[in-house]
Structure 1
Amino acid sequence: MKLTKFAHACVRLEKDGKVLLVDPGTFSEDAVFERADAILVTHEHPDHLDVERLKLLDAPVYTNAGVAAQLADLGDRVSVVADGQSFEAAGFAVRAYGKDHAVILPELGVPCENVGYLIEDAVYHPGDSFTQPDRQVHTNLVPISGPWFSLPPAIEYARAITSEQTIGIHDGLLSPIGLGMMKRWLGEQGGRPYLGLAPGESTELN
């Protein structure tokens, strides 16, 4: 399976000629929207969901109820999934985890629903949360910036999930200096090998 990281929180997975997109948002490059056989969306914030460009793709979308409401025009192309549910998307085995976006400010509470996705029991994308899957994964995608982000919980999250490697995502707000700093912190303190992919770079998962 091939994983390609795009800007911010979007990743593309390719297997057996099929393409699965996760979180194609407003920060995502146009190339992200050239093809998809299925799409997973973790939550409704625009850096994870570009409604207008997503509508141009003729592919099923799997997401939570909040996002589905924004995609009502797509009809039965949209499937609502929830914590603990397993399903297949374009030949990829997927399991959903969690229900809440991380808190940005205590007085605002939980801003919206958020569902993480474990794909092929190999790649875990948590969206905007540190919700942990209940099993070992090959590649753990770790958010490394954002209004809700804090370094200690990110390191504890990386330590808690048994994985062969971690890859930083949700990094659109970071300068090259910040990217290097997060790579150093997560790599040295997170307890797992850290792979820092630039937008457009890929890795093969064996």
Structure 2
Amino acid sequence: MNLTKKGKIIISLGVLVVILGAGIPIIVSSVAQDSAVKLTLLDNAGVMIEFQETRIYIDPYNFGNEYEDKPADAILITHEHGDHYDPDVMESLQKEGTINVFPAIMEAEIARFDGMGVVPEESFMVGSINISTFYMYTSNSHPQSSNYTSYIIDINGFTIFHAGDSYNLVEYYELRDKIDVAMLPVGPGCQTMAEQDIITVLSVIRPTYYIPIHFAEDADETFLDTYRDSLSDYKVVHLSYFSSRRFWI
């Protein structure tokens, strides 16, 4: 993977605030959306990423027909656990030409959705967006031998990393200073990185932004309050489920 961080990025919702090199904010009308990446945290680890006319879902889960008017150009699944792979939701998001991506081990699901099987360290395009697969494993519940996949979404050099369910992996050193937005699980109970492990992963990857995902009720608030000082080097984007932020790139 040949990844580089985009650099000066801004977060927006409605009105865009651009931070210039000198640190001077400029207000930009929200009608200029061509270079805005909209990121919506769905339920659990579900994420929707929208850029221009392209819409990508990662692990969409646990919603009804609310998003039928937002069909997917691509759906990326990290592994087959029921809180990450929801076939009914996937069915509701299909349109002609939807690219359905699964770890290669999910053979039945690949057949069901006429999908594409991947393993870590592969890449493919969805329109003009480059998607790279990366490592995702823990111990017993997510064995490395299954070749489950996390994903890196590269939009004109603006990189978003979705970790899926992972521990603190040695492979994360490959991502150092190459990720703009890191989405990491909080838990508890999902047998992944938690508490101090998350801080360690952030110190290895060194993203610009950190978005907590995959959290139980109030666990996100508790984690952010407990580790507030350790998170001061990152711009924390704290989203509740089914809320969104825009990033101007």
Q: TM-score range by the shorter chain?
A: 0.7 to 0.9
Counterparts of 1:1-206 in structure 2 under 5 Å? 1-25=37-61, 27-28=62-63, 30-32=65-67, 34=69, 35-56=71-92, 57-58=94-95, 59-75=98-114, 78-98=115-135, 100-104=136-140, 112-120=146-154, 121-130=158-167, 131=169, 132=172, 133-135=174-176, 136-145=178-187, 146-149=189-192, 150-171=194-215, 174-176=216-218, 178-190=219-231, 191-206=233-248
Alignment length (residue pairs): 197
Deviations along 1:67-104, one digit per CA (max 9) or x if unpaired, are 343231223xx111221111112432111111x43125
Q: Is the 8 A contact 1:159 1:192 kept in 2?
A: no
Q: Is the 8 A contact 2:199 2:230 kept in 1?
A: yes
Q: For residues 9 and 87 of structure 1, what CA distance do their matches in structure 2 show?
A: 22
Deviating above 4 A after TM superposition, structure 1's stretches of 4 or more consecutive aligned residues are 108-112
Which ranges of structure 2 fall in alignment gaps of 5 or more residues?
1-36
Q: For residues 60 and 143 of structure 2, what CA distance do their matches in structure 1 show?
A: 25
**Which amino acid is the alignment partner of residue 147 of structure 1?**
C
Query: Which one has the bigger helix percentage?
Result: 1
**Which amino acid is the alignment partner of residue 118 of structure 1?**
I
How far does residue 127 in structure 1 lie from its aligned partner after superposition? 0.6
SS in 1 for 2:201: helix
Q: For residues 64 and 72 of structure 1, what CA distance do their matches in structure 2 show?
A: 12
Q: For residues 230 and 67 of structure 2, what CA distance do their matches in structure 1 show?
A: 32
Q: Which moved more, 1:128-137 or 1:83-92?
A: 128-137
- Of structures 1 and 2, the larger Rg is shown by 2
How far does residue 180 in structure 1 lie from its aligned partner after superposition? 1.1
Which ranges of structure 1 fall in alignment gaps of 5 or more residues?
none
Alignment CA distance shift 1:201-1:40 (3 Å): same
Q: What is the TM-score of this pair, normalised by structure 1?
A: 0.84
How far does residue 38 in structure 1 lie from its aligned partner after superposition? 0.8
Q: For residues 130 and 229 of structure 2, what CA distance do their matches in structure 1 show?
A: 32
Alignment identity in percent?
Answer: 21
